[in-house]
Structure 1
Amino acid sequence: MRILPNMMNLNSLKDSKLLDLSSHFVGGNHVEFPSDKEFKVIEPRSGKVLTTWHFATKDQVDTTVKTAKTAQEHWANSTWMERSEILKKTADLLKTHCNDIAYWECISNGKPISEARADVLSCVDTFNFYSGVAHDLLGRHIPLDSARYAYTRRLPVGVVAAIGAWNYPIQTCTWKTAPALACGNSVIYKPSPLSPVTALILAEVLKCAGLPNGVFNVIQGDAETSQHLILHNDVAKVSFTGSIPTGKKIMKSCAERNIKPITLELGGKSSLIILNDADVDSAVSCAMMANFYSQGQVCSNASKVLVHRSLLEELTTKLVNRTKLMKVGDPLKEETKVGAHISADHRNNVEGYINSAIAEGATKLCGGDRITVEGLENGFYLSPCILTNITPKMKVYREEIFGAVLLLIPFDTEEEAITIANDTDMGLAAGLVTKDLARSYRVSEKLNAGNVYVNTFNDVSPLVPFGGIGQSGFGRENGIAVLESYTHQKSVFVNTGDCPNPF
């Protein structure tokens, strides 16, 4: 392991030399882990290779885990006020350098700069929130009788292996890291090779905020690297965001060598129900938010938009017209609403879903076309697509598309819409548009999903738990609920009198 110089200060974030610092951050330093497994970091907006980095090997993973374990033992003994101050300082630094971090999020992921900026600001909120949750980590005192009492304590689990997704690189990292650190754990974060940059920037921010060396580490890797990390005896907890097939493999691995808790935030096949009393303009906005944000690369997206037949013609006209006006282009430009897909392979996969639907009888109302952006001719662009004449036998009806493809499906009754929405084993999200408050409560109660949106969609807050049921995984990110995932509870019984003799 060769230690490389860190950034002189966060004001140099915009410098392209940032990519020369190294792909790994271990023990408070950028380090060079030589290996024979290389991967190219590609800019989605241009298709250009930015740099070539290396995946960590088994021995390098072991070195990182040992570093994190040693650091965690000291971090766990820090006072809550010390932790709170560092998390608050991290939030302040993220806010100060929001524009530069958003720039790298855009370069690494391809989403519009306005969305990238919003993602970084959401990370500010997350670190601020978890800087103030000390009271939620307090134990309880339980009187048993005049001589006996018990008390409970919430203690950190130890070393947390966090494996992130490419669609929200810094936000996914923050959702796992902020609460884990607040609870006194150390973190080893493995970002997706498709968007590996901003986790390293967060490591720099945490270091500048005063986080002790080794408490937060970043290693680059593939499935084999993840396996080495998950199977390591000193890793006490795994948190994963990604696909269902990978989640199943990780869950199996977590029980293979030594049982360890796991949080799985997986895929979804969600629906948005537009009821007959809905405001059409508001419904159109909700449908677009549920499908076209971040090029449709959102796990909770409602690709199935269920529209009451009485509103279908008006809503379809307005939805198609607004979709055609969405600016597809360079994600670094403020006017861009739809940026680049994460990779050429993923864009091709989304196109494959559109073509299969058309071959099975669907009708394309607009979009689904490759877009060539001047100066960025090799970027991975695709216009937002709307399909109709969808049937339950179609591949697009059943599978997660993970792209900007909206399926218009008419219905006649409330019960029919609920049945269609629940016709999936991926219970991550669902939504509805209605003016009737009583109706919104009634329908929300019947939807089989971990997150339900009423007159909105894809809304998030660090105060509110996020996660799914069924094939969409278990455990929660955000809110107070996540603290249980990063702590274990110890119960202590105390007898102040003579020890009872049962014999």
Structure 2
Amino acid sequence: MNLKQQQYINGNWVDANVGNTRDIINPFNQEVIATVAEGDASDTKAAIAAAREAFDKGEWPTTPATERDAIVRRIAELIERDKEELARLESLDTGKTVEESRGDMEDIAGVFRYFAELADKDGGELIDSPIPNSISKVVREPVGVCGQITPWNYPLLQASWKLAPALATGNTLIMKPSEITPLTTIKVFELIEEAGVPAGVANLVLGAGNTVGAELSDNTDVDLISFTGGIVTGKKIMQAASVNVKKLALELGGKNPNVVFADADFEVAVDQALNGVFFHAGQICSAGTRLIVEERIHDEFVNALVERVKKFKLGNGFDEDTQMGPLISAEHLAKVEKYVETGIKEGATVAIGGSRPDDPELQDGFFYLPTIFTNCTTDMRIVQDEAFGPIITVEKFRTEEEAVKLANDSIYGLAGGVWTNDIAKAERCVAKMRMGTVWINDFNLYFPHAPWGGFKQSGIGRELGKLGMEEYTETKHIFQNLKPESMNWF
């Protein structure tokens, strides 16, 4: 397959202004699966102008919430209708298993349905007034023009977390998907058009972060930036957004601890530790890559992990027996390899993995073996940095206090897990763990009505849930004096 795909600006499908294109590569075999427009700052400015016009002079922001609700719900229906095509595109684009991509499509439709249901539920709040014969109320209004920048690991899922609440609350937007995985986002914009979203309300610009993303961050006609991605880029966006004090919603990843006490259900904890890391080859911001295990079960736990990892099936995401696909690109594969080399130099021990596979059938893809490091300490880069690959580091602890201290020893604070059958102990740990989400006897579970986001350098703001909806609104206080009188002050 080698398709040409365009951008969507002001209700029209258009090529890049200067005619540039980019080949999209299948990470399983490096085949070119599509050729898409490669926009730049000029395309971004055109999209911003369209979104600004649609917000300032169009009807979408003042469209009754029930009508926006119906359109957002229609997008969910169209995603369900086309879920097989979307799942196929997502797996071609990212290399993940098609079974995982099918599950993503169900979740994505659920996100649009959830925010459609919320669209007409907030009619404002009456508050007490100190003045007789008056009305004082608080309402929420759309922020305005929203720049939305999504990552390559879960292209359409992350897009849905931004698109659905922005549309439901009456904003206009410009979305920039990752330049290496844009295909499902392009497809969902076809569905947005089919659902009846007015021209200029939702715009799609394809291109690199240093051109398209930079223009969104710098441009004073953009009122909000919602970004999911790496911490280095997130800091640059924060600096650029200061030009007009944009609102920011940033999800900047994590180095997530998974704490296992000796009294946990051993087999389930082992299974979930594997699931928590090796889905999508560890390319998940909430992956439980820091395994922190009580000392008296450490060796047995590591041995159980190793035995399970030996049986992993790597391969084409479209093969039914494939459990783990490739990494996203040659560049990212080299980054993961470098982290493994660094971990070895720092004194960590490779219990299994630590190299590319030698299977001839995998040589054309960006594959890396699932890797477990033992003898790890918190001063190691392999423990502190987000490698974003199929790597687990294992640390030991003896006491509850030590477990919590290790779990919090990170600049990140996105998510974490605690495994124990002592619920009182679990609650004590959770109360002290500085993360936006903490699971007890589970890992990596999320759903649309629970907020998602991090503490510390994992980001600012929340996605999903009512808080995710509120990110796309401004709060306004309205005071009405029903019986005005002269003050006679002057």
TM-score under structure 2 length normalisation: 0.95
Determine the structure 1 residue equivalent to 2:11: 28
Contact 1:55 1:225 in 2 (8 A): no
Query: 1:88: which partner in 2?
Result: 73
Specify the SS of the correspondent of 1:161: strand
Structure 2 CA distance for aligned equivalents of residues 186 and 375 of structure 1: 46
The SS at the match of 1:137 is: coil
Shift of 1:159: 1.2
Counterpart-to-counterpart distance in 2, 1:473 and 1:130: 22
- Give the alignment of 1:63-78 within 5 angstroms: 63-72=46-55, 73-78=58-63
Q: Take 1:267 and 1:331, find their aligned partners in 2: how far apart are those partners?
A: 25
Per-residue CA deviations over 1:40-83 (Å, capped at 9, x if unaligned) read 31111111233443432322212111212233332112111111
Q: Could you say what secondary structure the match of 2:8 adopts?
A: strand
Q: CA deviation at 1:303?
A: 1.3
Map of 1:320 onto structure 2: 306
State yes or no: 1:460 paired with 2:446: yes
Which stretch has the larger CA shift, 83-92 or 225-234?
Answer: 225-234
In structure 2, how many angstroms separate the alpha carbons of the residues matched to 1:125 and 1:347? 32
Preserved contact between residue 329 and residue 373 of structure 1 (Cα < 8 Å): no
Query: Once superposed, what is the RMSD of the aligned Cα atoms?
Result: 1.6
- 1:481 to 2:464 alignment: no
8 A Cα contact 1:362 1:390, kept in partner: yes
2:132 pairs with 1:132: no
Deviation at 1:391, TM superposition (A): 2.2
In the alignment, structure 2 segments of 5+ residues that lack a partner are none
Moved more, 197-206 or 491-500: 491-500
TM-aligned CA deviation for residue 135 of structure 1:
4.7
Q: Is 1:248 matched up with 2:235?
A: yes
**1:56 maps to 2:39:** yes
- In 2, Cα distance between the equivalents of 1:471 and 1:170? 24
SS at match of 1:130: helix
State the Cα distance separating 1:134 from its structure 2 match: 3.2
The 3-state SS of whatever aligns with 1:501 is coil
Contact 1:274 1:306 in 2 (8 A): yes
Residue pair 2:69, 2:120 contacting (<8 A) in 1 also: no
Give the superposition deviation at 1:37.
5.2
Q: Which amino acid aligns with 2:372?
A: I
Between 429-438 and 240-249, report the one with greater CA deviation: 429-438
Question: CA offsets per residue over residues 442-495 of structure 1, 9 Å max, x none?
Answer: 110110111111111111111000001111111000000012211111111111
For structure 1, which segment, 222-231 or 166-175, has the greater mean C-alpha deviation from structure 2 after superposition? Answer: 222-231
Match of 1:339 among 316, 325, 328: 325
**Distance across 1 between alignment mates of 2:50 and 2:411:** 40
The answer to whether residue 105 in structure 2 is matched with residue 101 in structure 1 is no
Please tell me the residue identity of whatever aligns with 1:308: E
Separation (CA, whole Å) in 1 of partners of 2:124 and 2:297: 53
Q: Structure 1 residue 408 and structure 2 residue 394: aligned?
A: yes
Show the counterpart of 2:132. 146
Matched, 1:239 2:223: no
AA of the residue aligned to 2:452: F
- 1:268 positional shift: 1.1
Indicate which of 155, 159, 163 corresponds to 1:169: 155
Quote the offset at 1:383 in angstroms: 1.6
Q: Is the 8 Å Cα contact of residues 179 and 482 (structure 1) preserved in structure 2?
A: yes
2:200 is matched with which residue?
Answer: 214
Task: Report the Cα offset of residue 133 of structure 1.
Answer: 0.5
- CA drift at 1:132: 0.6
Distance 2:334 2:64 in 1: 51
TM-superposed deviation, 1:339 = 0.5
Output the CA distance in 1 between the equivalents of 2:197 and 2:97.
31
Report the counterpart of residue 99 of structure 2 in structure 1.
114
- Do the aligned partners of 1:34 and 1:54 also contact (CA within 8 Å) in 2? no
Identity over aligned pairs, percent: 35
Deviation at 1:161, TM superposition (A): 0.3
Matched, 1:304 2:290: yes
Structure 1 gaps of 5+ residues are 1-15
Change (3 A) 1:152 1:387: same
User: In structure 2, what is the Cα distance between the partners aligned to 1:68 and 1:335?
Assistant: 45
- The alignment of Structure 1 onto Structure 2 pairs a total of residues equal to 485
1:25 positional shift: 1.4
Indicate yes or no: 2:23 matched with 1:40: yes
